[in-house]
Amino acid sequence: MNPSTARPRTPARPRSASPAAVARLRARLPEMIDDVEALVTAESPTSDVDAVAHCAAVLAALGTRLTGQSPEWLQDTGRPHLRWRFGSGDRVLLLGHLDTVWPVGSLATHPFAVTDGVLTGPGCFDMKAGLVQLFHALASLDDLDGVTVLVTSDEEGGSADSRGLIEDEARRTGAVLVLEAAEDGALKTERKGASLYDLTITGRAAHAGLEPERGVNATTELAHQVLAVDGLTDHTAGTTVTPTVAGAGTTRNTVPDTASLQIDVRARTKREQLRVDSALRGLACALDGARLTLTGGLNRPPLPARSSAGLFGLAEELHTALGLGPLRGAAVGGGSDGNFTAGVGTPTLDGLGAVGGGAHAADEHVLVAELPTRAALLAALVDELCGRS
């Protein structure tokens, strides 16, 4: 089966794509909630490698218990990533991450809780509940041959350590299903590519009261560059070029000799990413004597709609077969590791994780009732993509 155009050949469905499959996973809901609590309370901010390693150990035990197979620990750089390969492992890659943006100690102000069908806690939505759905989905299947699971630990920091691993795994598989969270339940059928830059401006210091004319004001040059950068946005093409963090100067009475600017670029196409990249590298100083230094570049390629179209169509049909009604898709500006897998040409469907909202925010939450339904959809997709319909 070619996942990019995947459609069932007959009305027959695997055992995993029926209302009964949803019922079986709903029976697992108390255990799923306990497993989410175990992961959420194992705090794992990207920058704290020891905390990440502890969370990885919790996840490894959880995955081993539910699948009967221990993961490989991939940590050549000292940062742990986990991989489960079942049989050939070349039909479908299930991709997730265990790191979060929440610092250790966040449980004190945002404790794990379940109230009126809503689960809360740091990292529950992005994306620890999705990892629990993943392993309970696999536990509901009789045959896992053809499945690879890769869980990384640096996605929130840009995936610098894991990108090569992710791309290599994507190249050897037929389809990628990403367990990122689903805001309002919509799967991610398109993601913009992201480029990240740092602009350093060098001027010349002088006394602001005695002889400001001898200086080259880096703050003034920064103002010119902010406007130039902002002008590269093209809303018609879906491209945003956003000046974000800026800084300049040392003291009130000194003409500043340095300034800095961070730039966030989001684009729907590689062509637009390259257009902006060329324009940023061609920025010219407005003030005589100022100098510009640009670092950074393209970080994540776009995940275009064509990469997800076949898989989303299959997901829609399976969602209906499960008795769960219509399924929505959405194009979003945020990136994920699914951008990398689509970038190497592997059909990719994102947003198969928890349903809820508030990623990275104080109101981060998961809708408990959707944990088993999304696990059922994932199980049906895996069964179909592994050719067991």
As a whole number, mean pLDDT of residues 221-233 equals 98
Which H, E and C letters describe 187-243, residue by residue?
EEEEECEEEEEEEEEECECEECCCCHHHCECHHHHHHHHHHHHHCCCEHHHCEEEEE
pLDDT over threshold 50, residue 74: yes
Do 10 and 94 sit in the same domain of this protein? yes
Say whether pLDDT at 8 is over 50: no
Place of tokens 């990249």: 277
What distance in Å separates the CA atoms of residue 285 and residue 192, rounded to the nearest whole number?
30
Asked whether residue 361 falls in the same domain as residue 284, the answer is no
Pairing of strands 187-191, 329-332: parallel
91 and 199, same domain (yes or no): no
- Same domain, residue pair 232 and 176: no
Q: Looking at residues 357-372, what average pLDDT do you find?
A: 95
Mean pLDDT over 290-306 rounds to: 96
Q: Is 196 left (phi over 0), alpha (psi -120 to 50) or beta?
A: beta
Tens digit of pLDDT for each residue in 31-48?
999 999 999 999 999 999
Q: Looking at residue 7, what is its pLDDT?
A: 41
Residue that finishes a domain, picked among 271, 300, 329: 300
State how many domains the chain has.
Answer: 2
Supply the CATH number for residue 160's domain.
3.40.630.10
Residues 12 and 115 in one domain: yes
Q: What is the DSSP letter of 310?
A: H
Write out the residue range of the structural domain in which residue 232 sits: 193-300
114 and 185 both lie in a single domain = yes
Q: Are residues 172 and 222 both part of a single domain?
A: no
Q: Reply yes or no on whether the pLDDT at 97 is more than 80.
A: yes
pLDDT in the model for residue 334? 87
The pLDDT tens digits of the residues spanning 345-364 come to: 999 999 999 999 998 999 99
Cβ-contact 336, 348 below 8 angstroms: no
How far is the C-alpha of 79 from the C-alpha of 53, rounded, in Å? 7
Same domain, 21 and 111: yes
Q: Which pLDDT value is given to residue 11?
A: 42
As a whole number, mean pLDDT of residues 87-95 equals 97
Residues 368 and 290 in one domain: no
CA atoms within 13 A on the CB side of 107: 13
153-172 average pLDDT score: 95
**One domain, residues 66 and 188:** yes
Indicate the pLDDT class of residue 55, thresholds 50, 70 and 90: very high
Residues 33 and 119 in one domain: yes
Computed over every residue of the chain, the mean pLDDT equals 94
Mean pLDDT across the stretch 117-131?
Answer: 97
pLDDT attached to residue 15 = 61
* Mean pLDDT of the 76-92 span: 95
Instruction: Provide the percentage of residues in the chain whose pLDDT is more than 70.
Output: 95
User: For residue 387, what pLDDT is reported?
Assistant: 87
What is the percent of the chain with per-residue pLDDT over 90, rounded to a whole number?
90
What is the SS3 assignment for 164? helix
> Which whole number is the average pLDDT over 248-262?
97
User: How does residue 98 score in pLDDT terms, banded at 50, 70 and 90?
Assistant: very high
Contact of 131 with 151, CB cutoff 8 Å: yes
Alpha carbon distance 92, 256 (integer Å): 54
Decide which of 250, 280, 300 is a domain's last residue. 300
Among 7-16, 171-180, 363-372, the range scoring the smallest mean pLDDT is 7-16
Residues 205 and 256 sit within 8 Å (Cβ to Cβ): yes
Return the pLDDT at 317: 95
pLDDT digits (tens, 9 = 90+) for 167-204: 999 999 999 999 999 988 999 999 999 999 999 999 99
User: What span, in angstroms and rounded, lies between the C-alpha atoms of 89 and 386?
Assistant: 9
Q: Are 145 and 204 in a shared domain? A: no
Last residue of a domain, one of 300, 315, 347: 300
Which is more confident, 76 or 171?
Answer: 171
